[in-house]
Chains A and B, each alone.
Chain A
Amino acid sequence: EAGVVQSPRYKIIEKKQPVAFWCNPISGHNTLYWYLQNLGQGPELLIRYENEEAVDDSQLPKDRFSAERLKGVDSTLKIQPAELGDSAVYLCASSLKAGLGETQYFGPGTRLLVL
Chain B
Amino acid sequence: QKEVEQNSGPLSVPEGAIASLNCTYSDRGSQSFFWYRQYSGKSPELIMFIYSNGDKEDGRFTAQLNKASQYVSLLIRDSQPSDSATYLCAVKEEYGNKLVFGAGTILRVKS
Q: Point out residues on A near B: beta carbons under 8 Å.
A: 40-45, 48, 56, 91, 98, 100-109
Per the bound structure, the CA–CA distance linking A91 and B88 in Å amounts to 15
Q: Point out residues on B near A: beta carbons under 8 Å.
A: 4, 8, 31-32, 34, 42-46, 49, 51, 88, 90, 92, 96-104
- Interface of A, secondary structure class, is loop
Distance from A96 Cβ to chain B, minimum over Cβ atoms (Å): 13
Distance from B89 Cβ to chain A, minimum over Cβ atoms (Å): 8
The residue from A91, A105, A109 contacting B46, defined by CB atoms under 8 A apart = A105
Q: Is the CB–CB distance between B43 and A100 below 8 Å?
A: no
Q: Is the CB–CB distance between B8 and A100 below 8 Å?
A: no
Which one of B8, B31, B45, B96 has the highest number of Cβ atoms from chain A below 10 Å of its Cβ? Answer: B96
Which one of B8, B34, B97, B100 has the highest number of Cβ atoms from chain A below 10 Å of its Cβ? Answer: B97
For A101, what are the chain B residues with a Cβ–Cβ distance below 8 Å? 32, 49, 51
The residue from A45, A56, A107 contacting B43, defined by CB atoms under 8 A apart = A107
Q: Is the CB–CB distance between A103 and B46 below 8 Å?
A: yes
Q: Is the CB–CB distance between B43 and A91 below 8 Å?
A: yes
For A48, what are the chain B residues with a Cβ–Cβ distance below 8 Å? 97-98
For B101, what are the chain A residues with a Cβ–Cβ distance below 8 Å? 42-44
Q: Is the CB–CB distance between A98 and B97 below 8 Å?
A: yes
For B88, what are the chain A residues with a Cβ–Cβ distance below 8 Å? 42-43
For B90, what are the chain A residues with a Cβ–Cβ distance below 8 Å? 42
For B98, what are the chain A residues with a Cβ–Cβ distance below 8 Å? 45, 48, 56
For B42, what are the chain A residues with a Cβ–Cβ distance below 8 Å? 108
Q: Is the CB–CB distance between B8 and A40 below 8 Å?
A: yes
Per the bound structure, the CA–CA distance linking A108 and B38 in Å amounts to 11
For this complex, 24 residue pairs linking A to B, each with C-beta atoms less than 8 Å apart, are A40-B8, A40-B103, A40-B104, A41-B104, A42-B102, A42-B104, A44-B101, A45-B98, A48-B97, A48-B98, A56-B96, A56-B98, A100-B32, A100-B92, A101-B49, A101-B51, A102-B32, A102-B97, A103-B34, A103-B49, A104-B46, A106-B45, A108-B42, A108-B43
